[in-house]
């Protein structure tokens, strides 16, 4: 018998436990709800290809539609959308849970990522759109679903001639995915909670591939949205160049809880695979649809700025319609000095001072697009938005009205589809907080230059904001050709009134 050298034997003994542990990890097995059951009718699968997309030009994708046997075309069905096609044994799970009345009647829509086919497969590769469509922020993928995929589904019929009618209410729709498909699912609900209120996210890619690592920060800053979220991940998930999936999913869960969202999670020891979520999809679906048709609501955020500003029960109200003047933004100080932000097309922007006696002078140049302007409550600082960037400049006003100590001071969030904030009109409250009209909503900044909160009105983008109303406690936001108002726990600073000294900010 050949003996194993002692050093090698010791190494094998040390290695064996880790190999065994790795083999035991991710050992998830689907239960009965994920397998066909006697007496449970199976739904029908309808398959088609979708091409000629306007959202993602040149792409083609496969769509599979699951229609349960209990579906009645007289009543619009609830919807379950899943990225990457049919997975997690979802049709079988839906069969079983719908038959037992644990879920409403749900039509499943399973969509694969787009591919731009090669002209000559022998010499060219297709363009694979999965990361482009799934991993980025913004509403492009949601628009694909809402404007192209779901209408195409409603144009189909079952083999026995039943037309497919889908509910258009977000409360009747869930969206799910795995890995990049998971962040695509969450992002669709985030961008359009009126269209998707229920999310199932497995091994979600909330890392730095295309900006997904920003989500936990945005969740904490935004006024909460009516979304319920189920998260799944395992401690053996990826830890590569884009980030640590295991930690990122836990960071998402903590952000959602901080912001008052209804969230559940199932953490395990699995790797970057679909084994765990496949074994627990019935549980995830029950959580996503619990208490239906009761609407998914919003909870209480722990964001201090939002808690201080928002008045319970006070939302945005439409108050007027019309169009903007198109004139440069300006602000008039208590001493009569008028500052004008001139965003001249094709030339360098200027900040102009018009003194009470009529004298005019250019007090700053160099901004790419001076789009908004306002004063601090004590009128010692002038703020100018550079809408072609994500910066707002701060200047110290000199005794003669000229400007000094220019700094790129306030940092704004930008839409993923844009390279600039499109910041517009601005105003301050008496506490020194700065309110900025942007593509994402009204970004609320502390005196230290940081965005603490984001208030999205019913329509975007926001082009101007002003305080007014009784006690100057109502914020007015111009959005396209509409004006909305909202009462806040804040008092607007009137630049034409006596300056007031706000409290020292927390740094």
Task: Give how many domains the chain has, as a whole number.
Answer: 2
Banded model confidence at residue 321, pLDDT cuts 50, 70, 90: confident
For the cut 70, the answer to whether the pLDDT of residue 13 exceeds it is: no
Helix (H) or strand (E) holding 107: strand 106-111
**Residue 485, pLDDT score:** 98
Question: Which two structure tokens, joined as six digits, stand for 356?
Answer: 């009470």
Rounded Cα–Cα distance for residues 458 and 480 (Å): 11
Same domain, 282 and 311: no
Residue 367 within any structural domain of the chain: no
Residue 496 within any structural domain of the chain: no
For the cut 60, the answer to whether the pLDDT of residue 5 exceeds it is: no
Banded model confidence at residue 44, pLDDT cuts 50, 70, 90: very high
pLDDT, mean of residues 153-161: 98
Same domain, 128 and 273: yes
Report the DSSP beta bridge partners of residue 384.
373, 393
Same domain, 251 and 314: no
Same domain, 265 and 127: yes
For the cut 70, the answer to whether the pLDDT of residue 21 exceeds it is: no
Which letter, b or e, does each residue of 460-486 get, where b requires 16 or more Cβ atoms within 10 Å of its Cβ?
bbbbbbbbeeeebbbbbbbbeeebbbb
**Residue 308, pLDDT score:** 97
For the cut 80, the answer to whether the pLDDT of residue 7 exceeds it is: no
Strands 329-332, 317-321: parallel, antiparallel or unpaired by DSSP? unpaired
Same domain, 222 and 322: no
* pTM score, whole prediction: 0.92
Place of tokens 């809880």: 257
Model pLDDT for residues 442-494, shown as the tens digit of each residue: 999 999 999 999 999 999 999 999 999 999 999 999 999 999 999 999 999 99
**Residue 345, pLDDT score:** 63
Burial (0-12, 13-18, 19+ Cβ within 10 Å), 30: middle
Banded model confidence at residue 295, pLDDT cuts 50, 70, 90: very high
Report the DSSP beta bridge partners of residue 108.
66, 80
Q: List Cα–Cα distances, 129 to 114, 116, 180, in angstroms.
A: 5, 7, 11
For the cut 80, the answer to whether the pLDDT of residue 3 exceeds it is: no
CATH of the domain at 408: 2.120.10.30
- Would you put residue 378 in left (φ > 0), alpha (ψ -120 to 50) or beta? alpha
**Residue 348, pLDDT score:** 80
**Residue 22, pLDDT score:** 56
Q: Which domain holds residue 387?
A: 304-329+376-487
pLDDT, mean of residues 64-89: 98
**Residue 14, pLDDT score:** 47
Banded model confidence at residue 23, pLDDT cuts 50, 70, 90: low
Question: Cis omega (within 30 of 0) on the bond before 105?
Answer: no
For the cut 70, the answer to whether the pLDDT of residue 151 exceeds it is: yes
DSSP code string of 420-477: S-----EEEBTTS-EEEEETTEEEEE-TTS-EEEEE--SSS---EEEEESGGG-EEEE
**Residue 177, pLDDT score:** 98
Residue 350 within any structural domain of the chain: no
Which letter, b or e, does each residue of 160-181 get, where b requires 16 or more Cβ atoms within 10 Å of its Cβ?
eeeebebbeebbbbbbbbbbbb
Same domain, 246 and 311: no
pLDDT, mean of residues 426-452: 97
Residue 464 within any structural domain of the chain: yes
Same domain, 71 and 218: yes
Question: Which two structure tokens, joined as six digits, stand for 46?
Answer: 């309808």
Question: Cis omega (within 30 of 0) on the bond before 345?
Answer: no
CATH of the domain at 45: 3.40.50.1820
Q: List Cα–Cα distances, 450 to 2, 224, 445, 505, in angstroms.
A: 70, 19, 5, 11
For the cut 90, the answer to whether the pLDDT of residue 222 exceeds it is: yes
Q: What percent of the chain has pLDDT over 70?
A: 94
For the cut 70, the answer to whether the pLDDT of residue 410 exceeds it is: yes
Residue 399 within any structural domain of the chain: yes
For the cut 60, the answer to whether the pLDDT of residue 10 exceeds it is: no
């Amino acid at each position: 018998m050949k003996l194993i050298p002692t050093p090698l034997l010791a190494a094998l003994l040390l290695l064996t436990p880790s190999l065994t542990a790795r083999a035991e990890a991710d050992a998830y097995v689907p239960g009965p709800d994920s397998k066909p059951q006697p007496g449970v009718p199976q739904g029908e699968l309808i398959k088609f290809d979708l091409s000629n997309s306007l959202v993602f030009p040149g792409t083609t994708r496969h769509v599979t539609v699951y229609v349960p046997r209990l579906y009645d075309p007289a009543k619009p069905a609830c919807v379950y959308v899943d990225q990457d096609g049919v997975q997690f044994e979802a049709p079988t799970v839906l069969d079983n849970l719908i038959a037992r009345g644990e879920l409403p009647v749900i039509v499943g829509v399973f969509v694969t990522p787009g591919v731009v086919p090669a002209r000559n497969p022998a010499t060219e590769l297709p363009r694979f759109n999965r990361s482009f469509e799934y991993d980025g922020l913004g509403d492009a993928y949601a628009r694909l679903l809402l404007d192209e995929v779901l209408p195409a589904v409603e144009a189909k019929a079952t083999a026995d001639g039943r037309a497919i009618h889908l509910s258009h209410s977000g409360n009747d729709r869930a969206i799910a995915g795995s890995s990049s498909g998971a962040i695509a699912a969450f992002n669709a609900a985030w961008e359009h909670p009126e269209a998707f209120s229920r999310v199932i996210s497995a091994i979600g890619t909330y890392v730095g591939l295309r900006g997904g690592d920003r989500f936990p920060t945005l969740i904490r800053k935004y006024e909460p949205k009516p979304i319920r979220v189920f998260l799944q991940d395992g401690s053996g998930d990826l830890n590569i160049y884009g980030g640590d999936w295991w930690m990122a999913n836990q960071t998402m869960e903590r952000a959602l809880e901080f912001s008052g969202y209804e969230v559940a999670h199932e953490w395990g020891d699995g790797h970057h695979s679909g084994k765990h979520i496949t074994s627990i999809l019935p549980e995830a679906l029950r959580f996503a649809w619990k208490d239906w048709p009761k609407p998914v609501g919003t909870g209480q955020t722990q964001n201090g700025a939002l808690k201080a500003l928002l008045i319970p029960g006070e939302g945005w109200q439409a108050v007027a319609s019309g169009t903007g003047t198109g004139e440069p933004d300006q602000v008039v100080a208590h001493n009569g000095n008028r500052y004008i932000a001139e965003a001249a097309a094709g030339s360098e922007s200027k900040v102009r001072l018009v003194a009470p006696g009529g004298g005019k002078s250019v007090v700053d140049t160099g901004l790419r697009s001076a789009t908004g302007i306002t004063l601090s409550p004590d009128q010692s600082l002038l703020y100018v938005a550079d809408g072609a960037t994500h910066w707002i400049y701060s200047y110290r006003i000199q005794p003669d009205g000229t400007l000094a100590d220019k700094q790129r001071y306030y940092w704004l969030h930008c839409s993923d589809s844009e390279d600039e904030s499109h910041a517009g009109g601005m105003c301050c409250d008496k506490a020194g907080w700065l309110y900025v009209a942007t593509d994402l909503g009204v970004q609320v900044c502390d005196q230290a230059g940081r965005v603490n909160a984001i208030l999205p009105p019913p329509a975007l983008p926001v082009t101007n904001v002003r305080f007014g109303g009784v006690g100057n406690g109502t914020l007015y936001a111009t959005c396209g050709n509409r004006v909305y108002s909202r009462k806040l726990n804040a008092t607007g600073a009137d630049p034409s009134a006596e300056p007031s000294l706000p409290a020292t900010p927390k740094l």
